[in-house]
Amino acid sequence: MASTVRGTLRISTIAATALAVLLGVSVDPRASQAETQISVYGGANTNLNSRGTLVSGATIDSRDFEWEGKSFQMPPYWGAQITHWWNRGAGWGMGFDFTHSKAYANVDFANDPVYRHLEFTDGNNLFFLNLMYRFNPVLDGKLTPFVGIGAGIAVPHVEVKLKNGAPDTWEYQFAGGAGQVLAGLEYNLNESWSVFAAGKLSYSHLATDLEGGGHFKTYLWSPQVSVGLSYRFGN
């Protein structure tokens, strides 16, 4: 796993550096046209079914899981991002995006022979470096469509309790790589403030370690809807 993690980080670093260099030479970097945008958002996520594999001592289990989002239960779905746009109008930008999504295994724990608890609910926390593009605004400059793609890492809060006597696992871990695509609309309230709505689809690879030895591995495809508030500033 360690070699896979190091490889993923090297690839992500190289890709991010290449994108930054490419964009730096392909857009007009004049400060008079640049702006930075800080955003916070809430919303909801769900998760597609996926196969989970457990190895813990003599216990080996592999099955398909239904993962619930329960976005409006505490802790809720939320996120924050900062984006630097090289032009005030249509054009490219790059930013960092944090999303706190969740995944609850839909399991009858009272009758399940293996698990007492299986969740990623203090977050399947996703950290992305996004490449963004926004189009020319419409409705007298009020409404701006945008799209984006991102690559990053997953840092879930791993919550695994088993019935084989193994110690409970209850901690944050770096679990693997992640990616996302997104599209949305931003509505300008004035020169500085705007509201937005976006749809996202994220992928996270979760290769987690268990207390006492062993691992639990799965992957999550997570459709998301977010609504938020942005503040823009620049020269």
Full set of structural domains in the chain with CATH: 34-234 (2.40.160.20)
Tokens of 229: 């508030």
Q: Closest Cα to residue 204, out of 104, 101, 119?
A: 101
Among 31-35, 61-65, 66-70, 116-120, whose mean pLDDT is lowest?
Answer: 31-35
Contact 57, 106 (CB under 8 A): no
The one-letter code for the residue type at 27 is V
Question: Which conformational region is residue 80 in: left (phi greater than 0), alpha (psi within -120 to 50 degrees), or beta?
Answer: beta
Check if the beta carbon of residue 66 is closer than 8 Å to that of residue 104. no
Indicate the range of 5-9, 36-40, 53-57, 219-223 predicted with least confidence.
5-9
Q: What pLDDT band is residue 88 in, cutting at 50, 70 and 90?
A: confident
> Which residues make beta-bridge pairs with 31?
none
- pLDDT tier at 234 (50, 70, 90 boundaries)? confident
Reported as a pLDDT band with limits 50, 70 and 90, residue 235 is low
- pLDDT digit string, tens, across residues 134-161: 999 999 989 999 999 999 999 999 999 9
User: In the predicted model, is pLDDT for residue 191 greater than 70?
Assistant: yes
